[in-house]
Structure 1
Amino acid sequence: AAQLAGRLGRSLGTGDVGASPPVPAVPVYFYGAAREDRRPLAALRRSLGYFGGAVKGAWSGVSAEMRAGTASLKPDCGPCGEVDDKTGVVCLGAVPWVHNYNILVTAGDILEAELQARCRRIARATSARGGGLASVEAMALPHERGVE
């Protein structure tokens, strides 16, 4: 899987301008076994500013935080510099099977900021990074109807 990720990443990083339609080269960042240091996806996303600057309930393109992250973190393959809003970047890795769950938390009697703070405390306490369960990753992000 790591070798396949490497080959695919190099191909995406090179692009194919002769194809019909042309395939642009995009910055590629590896994670997991596709990298020698086995960087986790969550760490890569934090470095790229993925979790900052999101507008609640909407994708607004490449945020200022993501532009700063991609400017400071050289891709493993592909072009460096300004990220194209139309093509973005690729994060490609090889990791064991992962189960992901999105749980929407709402509370009519709690202010939005307090709900977000409570959900973040729970996420931190349950995740391995926060001293919780091994191999568990958790986060709490604003959602148009609550926290997810």
Structure 2
Amino acid sequence: MKQSMLLCCKLYISESRNKTALDLIEQAAKLDPETVIVNKFEDRAYNRVRYTLVSYIAHDSTGCPIYSPLHQTVLAMVEAAYAAINLELHCGAHPRLGVVDDVMFHPLARASLDEAAWLAKAVAADIVPVYLYAAAHPTGKALDTIRRELGYYRPNFMGNQWAGWAQPEALPDKPNEGPTMVTRSRGIVMIGARPWVVNYNVPILSTDVTVTRRIAQMVSARAQSRSEQDRVQNHVEMLAAQEGLDVEKGYFTDFSPEMITERYIKLISVDSDEV
């Protein structure tokens, strides 16, 4: 049964203010009716959007993965993003190194991490230049490590903004896929596969970038469980209080794997009924 072997792709694109660009990207996502955008998270200050897509994975007679509709859908969305967005004209309060900044694959239902890594590498072969990370990388190199090596976390505009392509056109480290020279209007892409992660954001009420960044560095991590939210919230509140700052209640940026699987099945069923 297709719905028992599912993969999820979280596609992070450096744009959230240009509705026309987002409409074109979302139109491209309709390439295959069995690939569905189950969630979308936008942040105008970050000027960044994340699409959560789901589809099935098919295998050959030996059990090896051979096909997922996610592959061509993700490529279509990437090409639409490149056609509609120029990184040189982009500015936002979130680090990024490309128009398509991150493509992260997760296993859902009965799918495995190896299958997610297979799809990540298949997609990477069609998008260049690409740095692979986590289960898709030959040695499991962490995403944060690669980003730090490439200067991802260093703002280059107004002290707390990222604008244009700020790195050398010749990359210091050879990508896993593609040339070492960068097209400035597109930048580079990170593609990986990892177990499900939970992003929980806690807003700190301050304009002091140095202080908020210091707190973030002491706390920032991707949790494996939504049950850890109270621990994260309390930790941020404690650190902020030491600086004389207040914080707001945090929020999750996506649904749980179970909720995403359920939404996918419902959306597929609706589409099938309409046909």
Counterpart position of 1:3: 118
Deviation string, structure 1 residues 90-139 (Cα, Å, up to 9, x no partner): 100001112223433223xxxx5xx33332333333357xxxx9xx9xxx
- Assess, with a 3 A threshold, how the Cα gap between structure 1 residues 34 and 54 changes in structure 2: closer, same or farther: same
What code does the residue aligned with 1:67 have?
A: P
Q: Does 1:124 align with 2:227?
A: no
Q: What corresponds to 1:143 in structure 2?
A: none
Aligned positions, number:
107
Structure having the higher strand fraction is 2
Unaligned runs of 5+ in 1: 13-25, 137-148
Q: 2:176 aligns with which of 76, 79, 99?
A: 76
Q: State the distance in 2 between where 1:127 and 1:59 align.
A: 19
Tell whether 2:197 aligns with 1:95. Answer: no
> Which amino acid is the alignment partner of residue 93 of structure 1?
G
CA–CA distance in structure 2, aligned partners of residues 80 and 123 of structure 1: 31
1:61 and 2:164 matched: yes
Distance in 2 between the 1:117 and 1:86 partners?
29
RMSD: 2.6
Describe the SS at the equivalent of 1:45. Answer: helix
Contact 2:155 2:162 in 1 (8 A): no
Please give the alpha-carbon distance, in whole angstroms, between the structure 2 residues aligned to 1:127 and 1:119.
11
Corresponding residue SS for 2:200 = coil
Higher helix share: 2
- Bigger radius of gyration: 2
- Report the alpha carbon displacement of residue 45 of structure 1 after superposing the two structures with TM: 0.9
- Counterpart of 2:55 in structure 1 is none
TM-score (normalised: structure 2)? 0.34
- Partner of residue 39 from structure 1, selected from 138, 141, 155: 141
User: Which structure carries more relative contact order (alpha carbon 8 Å, separation 6+)?
Assistant: 1
How far off is 1:59 after superposition? 4.1
Q: TM-score by structure 1 length?
A: 0.60
